Chains A and B, each alone.
Chain A
């Protein structure tokens, strides 16, 4: 088992509210959280993808997780709510500043494309409406093979009773197709009161149709695999990664063989063979 994570805390622009949210999450025992910037492009006007605020500007000292000695780890995540295939631009440069990338498809075609093609980490299952399409085994298995996970958020269920019905119905539909694999449970909380502790979320997973072990994995191990998948998106399949070096001028001084000084760089000399 790995540490408990909640990968969906909605960014509302309210600094104090976000600070309370992070403190509550650390108090409840979550070791890693992700601040979610939701981007819903409409076809009417061109919108800019939000840039994430650096964590040290949001909060001075990260609170220590209850029962452990490390501070909570905070990541940035972008969720693109798609109603058209042009809304998600693959390999857009703005996506690079986010640690996690998620999409929320609203039609069956987009769901299929997101599962099979798009380079994302998380596919969100909408909880605010009855899903207009059913989950088919083929795209769900395809997503599972690629390492993409499905996310069910529970804070809408806390707010409203109609949304509670939709959340449970959509979640049970999902579990029928995916058999409980590759699912994460997260809060989508805007206020600190909408967060629940990790063991409570595990129990909620039972209500959604997950088994005991699957529900616990949905809060820890599967979230860990999402983070690893997100890291591989930035690197070449997780094997090579590039890092920007700190300053360029310092590098120049140490460079051997500056051509202006006339010394050629050291090179192998061709060995002359004496012939008789």
Chain B
């Protein structure tokens, strides 16, 4: 029996091409559906330093809070539900928990609380849940998804009490938690934050200037010049600082820039890391559209948004898992006449992006 080594890990790629001016473009819903964004990276060709309005936009991303050792039953606290969750804008994710080893918790802005549990914890917790869609031979991962805005989950309701006793006495879960509230305002979160050890964080912005970058030509042409795989591979290599020279004496990387290519004298790579909200990303996209409107040398900007690898949910609250890498990201290639190419990618254990 020969081992099939050509078989590469499966990934799902959805490509979309449209214009911002087109009334039926789905870009807003596609961006908003990815609730938990970890990193935004921008590639600005022929640009030496960040333009001022883009810079101020990047530095004004919403702050987020990190609570250490938060007992998860506190997310069911009546005051927290009334002041924050029911108003519809809390984003919460457990921090430093691995999706394929530990228990992960996510609180989505539509009031859904999602717990991804291993088999023993699920059996101890005693709340209704489903086996993970990505179980292989045996079911070893279970997902409990609760809608906090439902009538049975009103404080005092049957479902609410069952989950509360489960999280308090049967399975006392504690983990570090990232919390963010839109529109900016930790005021409604203060009641919860004041009881535990918390710290406020601003998303970290880092800039890197590149010189002599080989880049594919006519990126935004329609029909597209390149297949998405080679384009995304090149973009990822630029983002990760991997050389695409493919010189004969270097065995570290055999990645090469897709042909036909041109040489850019300079380019700027900017990245923002933290718990980033979809609303901030939509505002950033608008700013980039204004930037491209001005007469410039370059004709495109590439924006990549990465979701959290260890989040139990990805687009639209659908289940997310990690087989060998839990990537879920999208790349938006914006052209000068308000056209865009959008590529949404997920790994093997994931549902199809919208």
Measured CB to CB, the residues of A under 8 A from B are 1-4, 31, 67-69, 172, 175-176, 181, 199, 202-203, 206-209, 212-214, 216-217, 220-221, 224
Query: Which of the residues B10, B96, B325 comes within 8 Å of A68, measured between beta carbons?
Result: B96
State the main secondary structure of chain B at its contact with A. Answer: loop
Extra inter-chain contacts (4) besides given A199-B324, A221-B136, CB under 8 Å: A1-B101, A206-B7, A208-B3, A214-B137
- Which single residue of chain A is at the shortest CB-CB distance from B116? A1
- Would you call B1 and A216 a contact (CB within 8 A)? no
Interface membership of B350, Cβ < 8 A = no
| B3 in complex: contacting residue of A31, A69, A209, CB < 8 Å | A209
Contacting pair A2 B118 (CB below 8 A):
yes
- Nearest chain B CB to A226 CB, angstrom units: 13
Interface residues of B in 90-106 (CB under 8 A from A): 96-98, 100-102
* A136 vs chain B, min Cβ distance (A): 16
CB distance from A169 to the nearest CB of B (A): 11
Contact B140 A221 (CB under 8 A): yes
* A-chain residues with CB within 8 Å of residue B102 when the two chains form the complex: 3, 68
**CB distance A4 to B101 under 8 Å?**
yes
A interface, by DSSP: helix, strand, loop or mixed? helix
Which residues of B1-37 have CB atoms within 8 Å of chain A's CB atoms?
Answer: 1, 3, 5, 7, 9-10
Q: Would you list 24 pairs from A and B whose C-beta atoms are within 8 A, ordered by A residue?
A: A1-B100, A1-B101, A1-B118, A1-B141, A2-B118, A2-B119, A68-B96, A68-B97, A68-B98, A68-B102, A172-B1, A181-B137, A206-B7, A207-B5, A209-B1, A209-B3, A212-B10, A213-B136, A214-B136, A214-B137, A216-B100, A216-B323, A217-B136, A221-B140
Residue A67 contacts which of B3, B98, B118, B323 (CB distance < 8 angstroms)? Answer: B98
Question: What per-residue 1/0 map shows which CB atoms of B214-225 lie under 8 Å from chain A?
Answer: 000000000000
Complex interface: chain B residues within 8 A of A2 (CB): 101, 118-119, 140
A216→B137 CA distance, assembly (Å): 11
B 225-260 to A, binary, CB cutoff 8 A, 1 in contact else 0: 000000000000000000000000000000000000
> What total of chain B residues lie within 8 Å of the partner, measured CB to CB?
23
B binding-site residues for A, Cβ under 8 Å: 1, 3, 5, 7, 9-10, 96-98, 100-102, 118-119, 136-138, 140-141, 323-325, 348
Residues of A within 8 A of B140 (CB): 1-2, 221, 224
Q: Which residue of A lies closest to B100 (CB)?
A: A1
- Please name the residue on chain B nearest to A200 by beta carbon: B324
Contacts of B100 in A (CB 8 A): 1, 216, 220
- Chain B residues with CB under 8 Å of A207's CB are 3, 5
CB of B71 to closest CB in A, whole Å: 14
The complex places the Cα of A208 from the Cα of B7 at a distance, in Å, of 14
Contact assessment for A3 and B101 in the assembled complex, using a CB-CB cutoff below 8 Å: yes
**Is there an interface contact between B5 and A203, defined as CB atoms closer than 8 Å?**
no
Contact B9 A212 (CB under 8 A): yes
The 6 A-B residue pairs with the shortest CB-CB distance, nearest first, are A213-B136, A1-B100, A3-B101, A221-B140, A209-B3, A176-B1
Knowing A67-B96, A206-B5 touch, does A212 contact B137 (C-beta < 8 A)? no
User: Per a CB cutoff under 8 Å, which of A31, A202, A209, A214 touches B101?
Assistant: A31
Q: Are A221 and B138 in contact (CB under 8 A)?
A: yes
Which interface residue of A69, A214, A217, A224 has the most chain B CB atoms within 10 A? A69
**Whole-angstrom distance between the alpha carbons of A130 and B140 in the complex?**
35
Give Cα A2 to B135, complex, Å: 12
Q: How far is the CA of A3 from the CA of B99 in the complex (A)?
A: 10
Q: Take A1-B118, A172-B1, A207-B5 as given contacts and tell me if A213 and B323 are in contact as well, using a CB distance cutoff of 8 Å.
A: yes
Q: How far does the alpha carbon of A181 sit from the alpha carbon of B136 in the complex, in Å? A: 11
- With a cutoff of 8 Å between Cβ atoms, the chain A residues found around residue B97 in the complex are 68
Beta-carbon contact of B96 and A212 below 8 Å: no
Note all chain B residues with C-beta closer than 8 A to A4. Answer: 101
- Chain B nearest Cβ from A204, distance in angstroms: 11
- How far, in angstroms, from A213 to B7 measured CA to CA in the complex? 13
Bound CA–CA A54/B100 (angstroms): 31
